Structure 1
Amino acid sequence: MVLMQLHHRSNKKEVDTLEEDVDFIKTEFVMMKSALMDVVEKRSQMAASRSLSTWFRLLFGLAHNVEDCLMEFYLHLEKPSRAACSKQLLLPRGTIAKRMRSLRNQIKQVNTSSDHYNSAISSSGAQSQLNTGPTVVASRNVPLIGREKEKSDLIQLIYQEGEQHRVMSVYGMVGIGKTTLVRSVYESQEISTLFKQRAWVTISHPFNHHDILASLPRELDAQSYSLFGSGTQSSRRCLIILDDILYIEEWNLIQPHLPEDTSTHIIVITREASVAKHCSTTDKNIYKLEYLEDNEALELFKNKVFMGSSDIDLNDDMTIQAKLITNECDGHPLAITTIAGFLARKPKTTMEWKKLNDDLSAGSRSNPNLETISRALAPSYDDLPYHLKLCLLYICVFPKGHNIRRKRLVRRWVIEDYASNTHNMSAEQVGERYFQEFINRSIIRPLETVTHNAGSIDYCQVHSLIHDIIASKSKEENHGIVLGHSSNNQDTIRHLSIISKGKMGKDMLESSDLSHVRSVTVFGEWTSDFNLGTMRLLRVLDLEGTFGLKDHDLKKIGNLLLLKYLSLRGCVDIYHLPNGLGKLWDLQMLDVSGTSIIKLPKAVTKLKKLLYLRAGNVPNDDDTSSSKLKMSRYLSKWLQKETGDGELPQGSAKIVQLGTTSLNNEKKSDKYHKYKVLLPTFMFGRDMHGVETPDGISELDVLHTLGVVNVASRKAILDEIEKLTKLHKLGLTGINKKNSQGVLCAIAKLTLLRSLSLRAEGKPGLHGCLDHDISLLKNLHSLKLYGNLVILPTWITQLQHLVKLKLQSTQLELAFSMEVLGKLPHLAILQLWKDSFQGEEIIYHFQQGLFPSLVMLELSDQDGLKSFRFMNGALPRLQSLYVENCIHVDNNGFSGMSFLPSLKEVMLNGDYNNKFMDNLRAQLTQNQNQPVLKWAWA
């Protein structure tokens, strides 16, 4: 028995006791997790009970302590042991045994008290059931500020196909103004004229559909009783509003009793995107209400502060303070209205508004009006299921206002086991679904200004006031803290974020107990005072974008035996990974992209659980100038060390400019030959977007993502890649005519591959490299090609499931290539970057029948682009057109924009003259969808 071997110096009684303790707390840990899920679902019912909240926090903390102790115990069972050479890496076995016994006693105490608290929760829940039935709200005039366009849109939606029975849905987050908007429409002259009978019913909770069915006919009129459940057709047009349907089940109980004749229209108001979709079934009948734009937010603020007048001219100082307030509210009408209502009763001075701003920016909730906002928005958190609450709490590791990269967040959820595999979805797919759920609920919002990946959300932010709420919840439950934005008064820190704040940050670190920390995220500058060695339980070390981090700071990384996630992404001063990395057997995510690492160490091959391995250039950073700058810095530092000064030897400056051009050996001096031997080999004749991998990379047989690998670095690499049969995403560079057939043969054996990136630098590029007659993956969803391709490979027509295609520097022939690509039936996202096509003048002519599924079209840095021509019937599903730095487009470069039936937005980035913009606006005005034009320029 393992425990007997482990404790050979202990007597049998002690071993049996430890074994009993382990079995007991393992079983109880499973039970505690289930109990936590049950309690969290009822948390809103017991929010007013201080004792119940305290009990929950104790249970929550105890569950974490049990998990920590089990993880440390399992480290002792490893064979061979990673800590054999250093006992300091592990907590002593005797200490663990004592903790086990203590935890067992604590669990027994919790179990003793659980019956009492479960009864209290049930009683609290029963009391909440005493609420009355649905409240029928009488019509009343509600002023609508800042929503004039939304009102017009909704009225137009109701008028469409006016004689056809339809269910429309309006959804958005709590307090966004759904009810106010719909009521304004409901009471408008147009709607009251169109519908002779109208009913507005607000759904109360707990839900009672019998009361609702009884109230609806009375709201219409007594003669309409026969409409409900009888199938009788009505001759009078009828509009029914169902406000605040929370669940699909509620709709399913009501819907069979609603009239279905063509004269009846129904509008469902809900917080949930899933409910809206279920009720309305078609996208055109679903309307999502977003936050107010800046101007509308300021208009609403002034209207409420000055009691109905928004025409007040504020002085410059008051305007600044007003905008700061509305910015803090993030365009949320309820928050703006509450704060403005408070200020309406105060002196209207700059100092008074500044005082409130200071409270807002500090996250202060001492002001009762700010507490009112928190309570009003609390359902955004309280109504979430348990798994989403955990994910939302975890977002607090990112400071307020921080731009969060989607993949970074989702993969951290996966590593923390907040998103797990299901029978038909991977853990990452589940995490992506959670992310979309938060978008649908308007808890997080996409940032278009930093989105480079058309068709998906690259970055997001948490609504400012929602961040305040979840930060408060996180502190309350000892979940996490951001040092640098707030002081630390927590007993236990499990998720730690550090914002460099000089001595204040140093003092906070020194005074904090970091022994229970599970994740560390650093923003800004690395501090040498930060000691990772005290964090035995650390699972996530996220240093993405941290500057000042050096190789020696990672020297003891191998001591973090439980580490699962390590990101050094963008840390440009990291040149090598330590050999101690090989001790991190649990590591699942390693991201060193955007660093100065050009070769991965042999230690990487020991990481058998690795799922994601990213290296080379940061994805989407395709400007080689950044790589050249990195290389120049690398050379300068190395040569300065070797020669004693910062000057390069004669002829070596050519390397700094290099790209992929090999040096002429005849021009090298003897002194420089020394540098050729010592300098990294990839500087000679290879590109700078990938890394060299060590022998044995094929041993990482569970890899999901690998890139960017330089296949020109060694011959055996292709034989190893083809053995990585679980790869879903692969990025390769260094492709040439000698290795190209091997590249395609290796790729063809990766049957699970869904995303592929192929790159070759220099004039030869990919020309003649992808023409081999070989059966490639027919299930590929995403393909990126970088380099001088000239002619599309014939096998691209086999990619019938391709959804996304990106081209850069491919120098293709325009007309033929667009015809071939236009026949791909499922292509939804097309990104055409610099030098995608040949020619000094490029004219895109989109004809009917091509690109039937295209939703997003992105064109970037195309100097020769002159015009777009859209024929009638072309691109029937195109929703977004993104044009960046294509400043040579003719003044009348857009034609046929009115023919695009699904177009929703046109995004421009760059300098364009007034005549061009006027022409584009005129085109969009003629489009029946009234697409939005967004323009950003330097």
Structure 2
Amino acid sequence: MELAVGASEATMRSLLGKLGNLLAQEYSLVSGVRGDIQYINDELASMQAFLRDLSVVTEGHNHDNRRKDWMKQIRDVAYDVEDCIDDFAHRLPQDSISDAKCSFILTKMYELLTWWPRRDIASRIAELKVRAQQIADRRNRYGVNNPEHCDSSNSPRPRAHAAAQDIAEYQDTKPQIVSIKEPVGMKTVMENLEKWLTEPQPDKGRAVLSIVGFGGVGKTTIAMALYRKVSGKFDCQASVAVSQNYDEDEVLRSILNQVSKQEEAGGSTESSSRDENTREPQGSSSTSSREENTAESGTKRMLNKLKKALPLSLLGGNDDKTSVRQQETMGSLQLREELKRRLAEKRYILLIDDIWSAKTWNSIIIPFLPSENDKDSRIIVTTRFHAVGSTCSPRHKNDEATSSPGHGKDLLHKVDFLTGDKPLDLFNASIPDPMKRTDRDKKLSKICGGLPLAIVTMAGLVACNPNKANSDWSKLCESLFPYPVTTLNLDGVTRILDCCYNDLPADLKTCLLYLSIFPKGWKISRKRLARRWIAEGFATEKQGLTEEEVAEAYFNQLARRNLIRPVEHGSNGKVKAFQVHDMVLEYIMSKSIEENFITVVGGHWQMTAPSNKVRRLSLQSSGSKHGNSTKGLNLAQVRSLTVFGNLNHVPFHSFNYGIIQVLDLEGWKGLKERHVTEICQMLVLKYLSIRRTEIAKIPSKIEKLEYLETLDIRETYVEELPKSVGQLKRISSILGGNKNTRKGLRLP
């Protein structure tokens, strides 16, 4: 397995810049510390060069446990140095230093007042210097040698970019490169499936199309294409990814929210305004109020659990449709009941993606479907397992029904590996038109074994290496798969993904690994991701481009390489949202774990607790069988926290508020006013999103967040910002307003 060096090298590059800035400061350093910092800087620079060399080492040459362990030590010390430098910047702000230069007396006062933090940081830097020395000595002691003797000409993978990528080339990527992908070579099949979905059934009842096939074979692409084409012919539509591990409430709530929003957009008489009488009381700042809240909290929790367990009919909610706010607090029983009522008199189409078991279909999906619906409703299901498809479509007659759509009430369509000319057709359709077609294309498409995911990913590799000689591509094919490939197994997919990943520049590797923060099947907002990349320092000004333009260029290049899948466009033709294929996400998740880059708790992944410090934490809701506990994790070094779903608890007390830079709590209904007050103590915070939460007020203490660049309070109940927001000198984006209440945000 190729050593993961992408995120490590990017972290090292960022750190070297910070060390250089620190060395340039005259009044900040305690005597003797400058030499230690210079030593650490020089050692890390040499280590960075070593990491870059490692990124082009071939498998089978020096990929031993010694080198992996040594790389881990480099990464850990780099992370700790970065924490120390960031703490230095926080405790010794440079604005004060600049002012102190005006007077000798003020300078001495500044040195006196900051003596203790400077001495503390000096001690930590001395310890880090010793660690850097030990790591350097250990390399020679245990024979971790340079990989100079490795012959890269026989490498099974393209060499990583040693020089900086010319990102301006990708700034104005053509729209068709990042367009939503449609199935290739399936015109007749798609026409038949579309006809079956739209033609009325004899009894006008619900019918189910199950699409079955191996992972990466194109099931979701087919399902999404059909869904986009025919959904406008139905009264309402909703799509959701279920996968192996799921949160039942979140699946049901996602479908209900989509249906509800369509009703409101269609002129529904349902009131979506904020109901002050139903809002939970916020905690008071007085001592007596806190005591009352503490005494009553147990009773309230019991009442809330009871409400979630009771049908809406017993709670007096059967006559009127529920508000969006009420839906967020419903339990599974209430969600099913509400969905059944809303869908009863509508012609609906649902897309249920990636179902793993018949139990999921029978216990989650079937219970909310109206039993008496004669509107010719349709459901599209994708699954890897034939038995699951047969359960979802029990009334199908044969697996070849697409050639004769009239057979059977339901339909089961099996997607096989591509054969004949179809792999080459898909390959050619996945690279830009101006590129010259050669024998290279046929060879590369052939080694992909007819698997669409492998084909389009390899095509993306070709698209980003237009000047590579045909002989080099031939060597690549032979080294990847020395023997003829008929169908591709999981190991073969991993080889191809390895090949494409190792061709990425270090910056793009980091940006790609960052996507493992998001849950499986998540629709990721392009703008949200770009702002987060900037806050993390992954997208910085370069080559005359702004941070935003660099982030846009990175996104376009990932899309051009077919490593991400655009799923939604804006009116201007730009991609609004995208997804990461399950198999690609699983691959980058393994890389993130290897580098201790992302730690995921809950969700679809069963991750073992890391033995070292957590840097970026993703908390994801999961089913009752899968806990999301952070017990046993060292959270003191968390720099980025993201929450997905309705978690009962987020361990704020475990975090070091002085180093958190990204806090994304979008959609977390457990957020309270007291949490926002605590957030105002995260003094180096750059990105804060409390979108779609229950918050109604931003405290004036927000002025303490002097590094804040993005504040996202959309779809909350905040209608006015405090005047202290004007003190945020670095703020570049304030996003507010609530579409549900149809109220905007008033600036001070």
User: TM-score of the superposition, structure 1-length normalised?
Assistant: 0.40
More helix per residue: 1 or 2? 2
Higher relative contact order structure (alpha carbons within 8 Å, sequence separation ≥ 6) = 2
More strand per residue: 1 or 2? 1
User: TM-score of the superposition, structure 2-length normalised?
Assistant: 0.49
In our comparison, the structure showing a higher alpha carbon Rg is 1
